[in-house]
Amino acid sequence: MSAHRVGLVVPSSNITMEAEIPELLRRRRERFPGETFTVHGSRMRMRHVTPEELRRMDGESDRCVTELADARVDVYVYACLVAIMAGGAGYHESAERRLAAVAEAAQGAAPVVSSAGALLAGLEALGARNVAMVTPYLPELTGLVRAYLEAHGVSVRDALSLGVADNLAVGCLDPEALLAHHRRLDLTGCDALVLSACVQMPSLSVVQRVEDEVGIPVVTAATATTYVLLRALGLAPVVPGAGRLLADR
C-alpha cells in the first residue's frame, strides 16, 4: 500500500476540481489497487472570471500553500488555469518556483504543479502542436489562453467561448452539452482537442466518448492536471477511461 496526500489550491467558487480530481484518482485504483489518495483543499477568493479578480486571487496563492504545508501534503496543485495564464507567457514556471519556496519556508517542501503548466505538459506528451479548444470564458479571456498556448509553441486552430463570467455558473454547466459544443469546432489539422480549457467547467463524464468520436486525443484541465500530479509523485500517469493522455502506454 502507498498513501499520497494531494494539496489543491482552488478558487473559492470552484466546485469541479474537488470532484473530478478525486474521481480520476479513484478510477486509477482499478489499475493500481495498492494506492490511496486524499485531497486537501485551500481556497483563493474569486467569484467572477475577470482579469481584475484573477490577479487579486492569484495574490492569495502563497497563503494557500502555507496552509496546506501544515498538512504535509506530497504535492501542491495550483488549480486555476486562466489565473496563471493571465500572468503572461512563462508565468506558470515562475509561480511554481515561488510557491515551492513558500512551501519549503513553511517546512512542507513538496513538488508544485499548476493546471496551466499541466495543459502544456500534456499536449507536449501527446506531441500535439495544433489544437482546438472549448472554454467557458468571455472571448477576452479565451484570447489570453490562446496567446499563452501559442507563446509556448501550441497553435490554436479554433476556439469556442461559451461566454460565462460567473464562476459558480461555470461549475453548473452540463458536461453533456460538450457533446454538441465540440462539433462546432473545425478540427482540420488538429493534433488534439482541449475539451475544457478551464478547471471549473465539468467534462470528465464525456472525455472518452468525445475522444472516441473525433479520433484525436481529448485533453481537459482536469486530465492534464492529474497527469502532471501523478508524475510529480513518481507514479505512472495512468487512469482508465480518461482519454489517451492517461492511457496505459
Phi, psi of 61 (to 5 degrees): -65, -35
> What's the CA gap between 66 and 102, in Å, rounded?
7
Q: How far, in Å, CA of 37 to CA of 35, rounded? A: 7
- Catalytic residue status for 198: yes
- Per the CB < 8 A criterion, the answer to whether 59 and 87 are in contact is no
In b/e form, how buried is each residue of 109-145, taking b as 16+ CB within 10 angstroms?
ebbbbbbbbbbbbbbebbebebbbbbbbbeeebbebb
190 has catalytic annotation: no
Q: Which of 64, 172, 190, 198 is catalytic?
A: 198
The residues that are catalytic are 80, 198
